[in-house]
Amino acid sequence: MASRQSAFDLSKCARPNILALEPYRCARDDYKDDGTNILLDANENAIGPGLALNKDGKLTNDASNGSGPAIDIDLLGLNRYPDPHQIDLKQDLCSLRNFKAHTSKTLTPASLFVGVGSDEAIDALLRAFCVPGKDKILVCPPTYGMYSVSAQVNDVALVKVPLQIPGFQLDVPAIKDALSKDPSIKLAYFCSPGNPTGALLKKEDVKQILEHESWNGVVVLDEAYIDFAPDNASLAEWVTEWPNLVVMQTLSKGFGLAGIRLGAVFTDPAIARILNSLKAPYNISNPTSQLARAALDPKHLEVMHKNKDLILKQRERMLAELPKVPGVGKSIGGEESNFLLFEMLDAPADQGGKPSNETALAVYEGLAEEKGVVVRFRGKEYGCLGCLRITVGSEKEVDRFLQEIKVVLQNIFKKSGKLGANEEENREKEANAVVA
Ligand X SMILES: Cc1ncc(COP(=O)(O)O)c(C=O)c1O
DSSP secondary structure letter of residue 386: T
> Strand locations in 2-128, DSSP E?
38-39, 112-115
Residues in Cβ contact with 342 at an 8 Å cutoff, skipping those fewer than 6 apart? 322, 328, 329, 330, 331, 332, 387, 388, 390
Is 67 or 143 the residue whose CB approaches ligand X more closely? 143
381 part of the interface to ligand X, by CB under 6 A: no
Site for ligand X in 37-76 (CB under 6 A): 43
222 part of the interface to ligand X, by CB under 6 A: yes
- Secondary element (H or E) of residue 339: strand 339-344
Q: Is the CB of residue 337 less than 8 Å from the CB of residue 318?
A: no
Is 244 or 391 the residue whose CB approaches ligand X more closely? 391
191 part of the interface to ligand X, by CB under 6 A: yes
267 part of the interface to ligand X, by CB under 6 A: no
117 part of the interface to ligand X, by CB under 6 A: yes
Choose the stretch contacting ligand X; rule: CB under 6 A; options: 89-97, 117-125, 271-279, 339-347.
Answer: 117-125
144 part of the interface to ligand X, by CB under 6 A: yes
Q: Report d(CA 342, CA 89) in Å as an integer.
A: 38
Residues in Cβ contact with 184 at an 8 Å cutoff, skipping those fewer than 6 apart? 134, 135, 136
Q: Is the CB of residue 202 less than 8 Å from the CB of residue 190?
A: no
Choose the stretch contacting ligand X; rule: CB under 6 A; options: 98-106, 112-120, 127-135, 314-322.
Answer: 112-120
- Within 13 A of 183's CA, how many CA atoms are on the CB side? 3
Is 257 or 412 the residue whose CB approaches ligand X more closely? 257
357 part of the interface to ligand X, by CB under 6 A: no
Instruction: Tell the smallest beta-carbon distance from residue 136 to ligand X (Å).
Output: 20
118 part of the interface to ligand X, by CB under 6 A: yes
Instruction: Tell the smallest beta-carbon distance from residue 336 to ligand X (Å).
Output: 13
User: Under DSSP, is residue 189 helix (H, G, I), strand (E, B) or coil?
Assistant: strand
Instruction: Tell the smallest beta-carbon distance from residue 192 to ligand X (Å).
Output: 9
Binding residues (CB under 6 A) for ligand X: these are 43, 117-119, 144, 191, 195, 222, 224, 250, 252, 258, 263
